[in-house]
Every structure is written in C-alpha cells, then in structure tokens.
Chains A and B, each alone.
Chain A
Amino acid sequence: MSEKIRIAVVGLGKMGLSHFALVNAHPNTDTLACDATGFLVNVLSKNLPDTKIYTKYEDLLEQGNLDAVVIATPSRLHAPMVRAALEKGIHVFCEKPFCLDWQEAEELAALAEEKGLINQVGYHYRYVGTFQRMKEILDSGALGRVTHVLAEAYGPVILKPKRQSWRSQKSEGGGCLYDYAAHPLNLLNWAFGTPTHVAGSVLNSIFSTETDDEVFSTLSFPDGPTAHLTVNWSDESHRKMTTKLSLIGTNGRINVDRQECQLYLREPVDALPDARKGWNVQYTTELTEDPWFYLRGEEYSAQIDDFVKAVRDGKSEAAQNNFRSAAMTDKSISMIINDAAREDAPAATAPQSTNTARKRGWFNRARG
C-alpha cells in the first residue's frame, strides 16, 4: 500500500473532532470528514481548504475512494455505519462502546475477519502506559492468583437534571454504563476475559430521566477473580474522568490509574526482575513514549497511530482492541443490563435489538 492512506472521520462531535485532528496531523494520511451538522460543516469547509467534507455518509462511501474510516457518531449508529464500510472493503476504527447489541458486534467482527479488514475500537485505556504495565505484571504471574478486583470510574458529566443530547438517552447508547463503565469493564475483559456470571447489578439514575448515572455490579470471571464495578458520572469532586483498578492477588496488589501504577509484592518473582519486595511505583511520565502529535493524552494518539500504520502496512489485524475484544465488552454490558432488570422486575426481558432505525439518512437516525 502507498505511503499515505485515504481516511475519513465520520461524526465531528467531541470525540470526532479530536480524532479528526489526530488523523489529519498524521504523516501517513490524506484525511476527509463527514458530518451532518450544517454550521460545523460550513465553518470547517470555509477554513480547511484541503479537507473534503461530506454531509452524507453514503456519498462518502461511494465517492471518497477510502482505505479506512473512523466512526465517531452516536453509539446507536455504529453498527449500521460499520457494516456499510466493511461491505465496501474499508478498514474501520470505531468509537466505543462498539455495538449496543453484542450479537451484532460479533457478526461485524466475523465480517471484518472474513474480509481481512483492520478493525479496531477506541478503548484508549489499553494505550495508557500505566494500564499497559498492569497487564504486563498480570501476564508475568507476579501477583499470584488474583482473587479480587475493584474497578472504578468517576467523573463530572451529569451534575444537574436538565440535559438534552444523545448521551442522555439510553436508546442512543448514552448513559453512564455505555459511556463510563464500558472503560473499566473493557480493562477487566482485557485482564480476565468475559465474565461467566454477573450479579447484584444496579443501574441507577441520579439526575438523568432517561438513563443511568451510576452503575454497580459484581462480576465473576472464569478461573479468575470476582470483580466489583463501581462507576458514577455525577461526581463533581473529580476534575475529569478517573478510572482505577485495584487488584489483590496471593503475592501482592496493584493500584493503577492513569498517572501511576503501584505494585506491592510479598515476594520478588523471576518474571519481573525489576520489581522488588514491597512497593514499586511507576509513573506515566516514565512509562509513556511521546507520540508524533499530542492532543489530549498519549493514548489517543497511540491508538490512531496503530490503526493508521496497520492499514498502511497491510497488516492482518489491529495491534489492540479488535472488534472481537470490544464485543466482549458489549456482551458484559448486556449481562449487566439483564441482571439489573432482573433485580427490579423478575419478568424483565433482554434488551431489545436496536436495529430499527428508519431510513432517513444516516445521521438523522440519531434523532429518529
């Protein structure tokens, strides 16, 4: 494949604009964009003379001559948009959560694999130096048998009752579970796989009328620990989103967040020669390599860099966060939804398939 790939960023919201900046600044890309918001497209078209901006997704796919696409639209649109791109033979990077229906996530994973297309989802915490270190420590076996994990996320997203965006609508893939809890869940999946059992789940509204603002659950992993998930996005005491895991094993403990990875070892282990008995603390500053371009955190740059390079170099799969692994998180989310419904109403049914968008153009489905 040539040195530069043709890649479009679809959906120029908060994540989309940031992805657009990262993709556009990448030395190996020719970047296009697509969004249906008139004002934004208008301003950008006027001021970015080198960037072709489409307002219709089907036009982009037909005329864009694309190698790859980054989907950053409201979550409910992910599945149909990803499918349309894959069917055209286009490599796909999709924002998280991947699909609201985990079976569809598996289907799309199978489709991408069958077509040999790079497929990746934006679970950026797997690109944070401290969490990568956590994974290395776990893989080394240094913690012994991990018996319990506390997975937490807090942040100030919904702090008062009135809101009006897709993020506040459960049916659009909004809410604390999809938006916030998906991150610690994804880290649990990375470390321990898909949970076999989920219990005691609570999806509670604090300020939102149509979705959850706090999430609690107890997850059991095959031959692994029990994990407690505690997430709240109505917590003003945190300046921005904080995600942390505390893992306890027979030979020690790890406390990890975006800034530092604290490891306590009861006994040193050969597999981890640099770590000593007692506390070992490492910081993001020493665990992070500078990316080619920095916007909001090294992890956002690194995941885009991996995706672009995988497409450019004709690799067989993404280095991290493929659709299969994201489907695992979608499935975990769905297990929590089912479990929470069971607690409140024993006769509750599984979450409905969300694939019912009306044919009114791609972006309008979000408001449909």
Chain B
Amino acid sequence: MDQLLFGDNQFFGINHMSEEKARSQAMRFQDTSAIMEVLDAAYDEGIRTFMCTTHDRIAEVCDVVRANPKRYAGFQFYPCMPYAHKYANAVTDHGMMGALTHFMPEGGMLKTVLRSGAALATKDADGIARVLIDAEMKMFKGLKTPIIFMQNVFVDLLLGMGFTKAFRTFHDHVIDQYGAEPGFITMNLPMLAEALEKEGIKNPIICSNINKLGFRMCGGADAYREVLNSGKVRAIAMSVYASGAIPADEAIAWIAELGGVEAIVFGASSRGNIKNTCELVTTHMGKK
C-alpha cells in the first residue's frame, strides 16, 4: 500500500466545514476534465492510488485512465462501495425490495426470483450481496483495484445492527472474485476492529478518521491509540486535517508521532496543496 492515497470527496461537493465551499467545488468539478486535471497533478507529484466511491462520475474517470494506459501506467484504484446515495435514492423511489431488484442485472436469475415476490423468503442474502458487489465493480473492468473497500455508512450500519456476517461475505467475495484485498471504512474503529476479529478476519485494512482534534473518532482517542498500537489492523487515516480545522504541518506531524498508521488518504483541489501534503508526509513519515 502506498503511504499517500488520493481521495475524491472534494470532487463531489462533500465538505464537512461549509456548504458554500462544497457547492463551489461541485461547480468546479462538474466536467470530468476538471477532475482529471487534479488527478494528473497528483500523478505528476508521484501519487499512484486513487481511493474513490463508485459514483457514476468515477466511471468517466475510469474511461479516461483505460484509454491512456501510457499516461497512467502505474495508476490504481481503491474502489469504495456502495455509493450510499445511489441506494438511498433507489429505496425512496422503489421501496426496499424494488431497490434491490433495480440493481440486479437484467435477465439474471436473482432479478427474476426477486420479482416473483412470493419466493422472497427463501432468498439467499449472500447471493444478492455478491451480485451487488459485481455490479459496483463493473466500471473498473481492466483497471488495477488491489484493495476494495466497503463504505462507512454501510459498514457502520451493519456493525450497529450486529450483521457482521456480511463483512465475511464481502471479505471472501473480494478475495475470490477479484484477487484483491478487502478493506473497511468506519467512524467506529475500535468497535469494528473487535467485530472483524470475531468474524475471524485477520489483520484487516481499516480506514477511519484519525486526527489531532479527535473529530469523528468514536470510541475515543484512547481506544483508537490502543487499536493502532496493537498491530492487529492495517490502518489508513482519513480526515487528518479535520476538513481544514488543523494546520497541515501539525496534522501530519501528529499522525507520524502517533504510530500504527500505514497510509493517509487526503483530498485536495490544487497542485500546491497536493505537493504540500506529499512533502509533509515525506518529512514527517519518511518515504517508504
């Protein structure tokens, strides 16, 4: 895993500090070429991994990368699924069952069975989950996806419900079908680490908020420290700047000192900021 991963929140109008800023970013990045400009800058600064949601717009990024294999020779994706809004909207539009049917491939056996309604009770939830994962992965066909993540809204919903078997299903399918490593994004690192251990998932890759402010580090900074120091998880830190609330230098220095963090995922919209983060990581964490 690279030490520095590039995230995609900034491209889709997600900003935890300001709706105004989120909107202006959404305007700036409405053409895929604007996203590619920033990704090109990141690539030229030496970043090779793009950790992204399975947003429809990412499919366009995938097309560009596929069409220019020389330009993006070492480029790889860490897909994060499902893109929750897509499903939430579908549930509003079609109801819970309708939404499931909606995402099943046309003509597939499961779609037929789901549509039949009466036979629903016999449905195999595992089978449905696998089909949904495959549907999300379609846009990455032919591209490198060495780690595939389950998104935090989904991880934390399942975690809260105690539906931890689904983590095992996801884990096994990602390995079997894609030869990739499974990862999990969460706002509740200590609780998730424990649940994954109980499911027999060893040394999992977990991405969570880790920042000096303690912003959205549920379970508390001490519990986070304990998990990070245990060596039982491969941790990726996100929100290290807490949406800009922590000065960059201070934020990275703190992560480096904390220990147990294997990689940082960050978002930036300008070459200057990308360069700055790259340099800070080299300074504080050393190049791998």
List A residues at the B interface (Cβ < 8 Å).
Answer: 13-14, 17-18, 20-22, 24-25, 37-40, 42-44, 46-48, 50-51, 156-157, 163-165, 167, 239-240, 242, 244, 257-260, 283-286, 288, 290-296, 298
Contact = CB atoms under 8 A, between A and B. Distances in A.
A40 B16 CA distance: 33
A165 B89 CA distance: 12
5 contacts: A20-B160, A24-B162, A156-B89, A283-B243, A295-B160
Given A259-B16, A290-B216, A25 B88 contact: no
Given A164-B98, A284-B16, 5 more contacts: A14-B91, A37-B96, A38-B121, A239-B14, A295-B153
Contacts of A156: 89
B251 interface: no
Interface stretch (B40-48, B104-112, B140-148, B217-225): B217-225
Nearest to B158: A21
Interface in B1-55: 12-19, 22, 26
Interface SS majority for chain A? mixed
Contact of A14 (B13, B88, B97, B165): B88
B191 interface: yes
B85 A240 contact: yes
B175 interface: no
A129 B96 CA distance: 32
Contacts of A13: 96
B218 A294 contact: yes
Contacts of B96: 13, 37, 39-40
B215 interface: yes
Contacts, number: 123
Most buried by B among A47, A164, A292: A47
B123 interface: yes
A257 B26 CA distance: 18
Contacts of A295: 153, 156-157, 160, 187
10 closest Cβ pairs, A-B complex:
A21-B160, A294-B187, A39-B120, A25-B160, A294-B218, A43-B125, A21-B161, A285-B245, A42-B121, A295-B156
A196 to B, nearest CB: 32
Interface string B77-91: 000000001001101
Nearest to B215: A285
Contacts of A47: 125, 163, 165-166
A239 to B, nearest CB: 5
B188 interface: yes
Nearest to B245: A285
B93 interface: yes
A156 B13 CA distance: 14
A25 B19 contact: no
Contacts of B121: 38-39, 42
B157 A21 contact: yes
